Chains A and B, each alone.
Chain A
């Protein structure tokens, strides 16, 4: 049970921790207050408990695929929020010399609060459901608990070190690295949503395009890291690959357009000031 618990908890915690560390690092670069973070954490934890308690009703909805659909909806919502967050990051970077303007700051904080709350809700509910399954189990809790603690410990540690790694980046590179990471995480969200929609039969099931489990096994630590960061799957279908590529390309394009637009505005302002 220990190893199973490690893998399940690590998978959930790592995914939330990496997203959190990227957004926290962004918050650090833009000198945002951390109130949004605490609010998101509280909302996410409360939401995951409600989700766990109402699991039966959620699962029964939509002809028994309510859980898959709700999870997919959460993943897609997080993807859309990440689009907004990344664009605002670029806007703030170019407008007020890294300092977010008051209007942008408010929208950015709200978007980050919503994204983190949803991510914590999604991952927290999985952990809650997994752990509550052992409530009536005759098996001893020690293995599950030790495994969960090991998984959570590894997940949080990777998240914390990843945060310090990002915060330690030179400001010049921070924007590029954060945008690339956000794009990959956003792609991962779409990939997972696709998989959930395939499970719910809302999207057609297909034969896997390749099998890279011999190269990186999904259950290994590296596999879990890649799953959390880029939504790694050893056996993706062609539909998953297409949707992943499209979502990553859409976000990259949006970021490039925002950057180009902001640079143009800044150049125009510099010219008018020079006159």
Chain B
């Protein structure tokens, strides 16, 4: 039973057809019996009438025009007194009172034999059986045909009525389908039909439980962020103090172990921050606050903030393109930009180039980051968004530390904004190009392909 509508239409139509047709058949049989009685009564009346007519045995009278009727009038001595032209000269049937079906003149007849005690005449009246059936069929068909013709109309009406009845179900399905992943507000209960009320109530109860569960998760992640950051900051302070204390021993340089410890702590701090970002930006959990902003301006701010990292490695970073208005979550988009720039900074060699471009393309705002790093092989494009996946693993051609979470976070944020991500070869000939296509601000549509470069 794949479709409730088809099930209801077929089942209802079959029931109606069955009941109506069986009733019509019963009606037909009853009508036929009734018609038979009527015809028999007519035959009996005709026989009585004929037996009252004067007739002579000397010269049997032959009546020419009798329509479908055939008759004979016999004297008690077995002499023919009168007959219709279509009746044979010998008795149609044995002279016994009553009805019988008999064959003569090439067809089947219904015959009534009657004896008139007043005049001592035997009268036999016959009518073709086929005529009876034909007339009865004609009468009964008048009542059957409307049922046959009405059935397609009934089917059509049932189709529409059932469709209308199922509208509430479709509306509920639409309401559920259109819910955003982070929208756990209850479904409206007003106007819900009685049959759907339990479904809506159960769904709302489930949504409430999910809301409570997500809230608990959010609180846990906020607490975890605090609890993890504090000891890492403390370790950083202690390593700094340790470095100072060791310098009092006038060592020519800091011990190697201390440098490794500092790098590990930095890496751990970065990893914890990325894990928290990954968790926070999960579309199902993240309570996004969409506001109008200009991606170009935001990119300028993030570049300014991270400029020191690029300058430290002698890399040239350039922001091109123009205003790119959109409605987005500022915090999430800042994390996205930081991750893309951080990756470009890490994987581009010293004195390399990075270009950030923003533009509007039709109904999309495009953010593109090109670098002159080693790039990513095309067959790896799908995998780099997996969590903790790093191209080449620990044997990455560029010996930089990474958590393998940056692009997963970027993908979460893109999903949150219904954006698409495309990886390609960099415009510089070597390196990677990452393009994020976000929906432009409503009302701001430029002709397709219009670039503000």
Contact = CB atoms under 8 A, between A and B. Distances in A.
Nearest to A143: B137
B29 A150 contact: no
Contacts of B13: 157
A153 B141 contact: no
B268 interface: no
Contact of A157 (B1, B18, B25, B134): B18
Contacts of B120: none
**Which DSSP category, helix, strand, loop or mixed, fits chain A's interface?**
helix
B137 A2 contact: yes
Central interface residue in B10, B15, B137, B144, by most chain A CB within 10 Å: B137
B429 to A, nearest CB: 50
Nearest to A154: B21
B148 A146 contact: yes
B22 A221 contact: yes
Interface string A1-25: 1110010000000000000000000
B17 interface: yes
B7 interface: yes
B14 A160 contact: yes
Interface string A182-215: 0000000000000000000000000000000000
Interface string A138-174: 0100110010011001101110110010010000000
A119 B25 CA distance: 27
Interface in B124-155: 133-134, 137, 140-141, 144-145, 148, 151
B135 to A, nearest CB: 11
A3 B14 contact: no
A161 B16 CA distance: 11
Given A1-B133, A150-B21, A221-B22, A161 B144 contact: no
A157 to B, nearest CB: 4
A142 B144 CA distance: 11
B11 interface: yes
A161 B11 contact: yes
Given A158-B18, A161-B18, A150 B137 contact: no
A270 B11 CA distance: 42
B14 A150 contact: no
B14 A156 contact: yes
Contacts of A149: 148
B414 interface: no
B28 interface: yes
Contacts of B144: 2, 146, 150
B25 A150 contact: yes
Given A146-B144, A146-B145, A153-B151, A6 B25 contact: yes
B24 interface: yes
Interface of B is mostly: helix
Interface in A114-143: 139, 142-143
A137 to B, nearest CB: 12
Contacts of B21: 150, 153-154, 157
A27 B236 CA distance: 69
B136 to A, nearest CB: 9
B10 A160 contact: yes
A143 B25 contact: no
Contact of B11 (A2, A28, A164): A164
B18 A154 contact: yes
Contacts of B11: 160-161, 164
A153 B25 contact: no
A101 B151 CA distance: 42
Nearest to B20: A153
Contact of A2 (B10, B15, B140): B140
B355 to A, nearest CB: 53
Nearest to A1: B137
Contacts of B29: 3
B256 to A, nearest CB: 56
A158 B17 CA distance: 9
A3 B32 CA distance: 10
A167 B137 contact: no
B291 to A, nearest CB: 50
Interface string B29-52: 100100000000000000000000
A28 to B, nearest CB: 8
A154 B18 CA distance: 5
B28 A153 contact: no
Nearest to A144: B137
Contacts of A28: 1
Interface in A202-239: 221
B31 to A, nearest CB: 11
A177 to B, nearest CB: 17
B148 A154 contact: no
Given A1-B133, A3-B29, A6-B25, A157 B141 contact: no
27 contacts: A1-B137, A2-B28, A2-B140, A3-B25, A3-B28, A3-B29, A28-B1, A139-B134, A143-B141, A146-B141, A146-B145, A146-B148, A149-B148, A150-B21, A150-B148, A153-B17, A153-B18, A153-B148, A156-B17, A157-B14, A157-B18, A157-B21, A158-B14, A160-B10, A161-B11, A161-B14, A221-B25
Given A1-B133, A157-B17, A158-B14, 16 more contacts: A3-B28, A139-B134, A142-B145, A143-B141, A146-B141, A146-B148, A149-B148, A150-B24, A150-B25, A153-B21, A153-B151, A156-B14, A156-B17, A161-B11, A161-B14, A221-B25
**Shortest Cβ-Cβ A-B pairs, 3 listed:** A157-B14, A157-B18, A160-B14
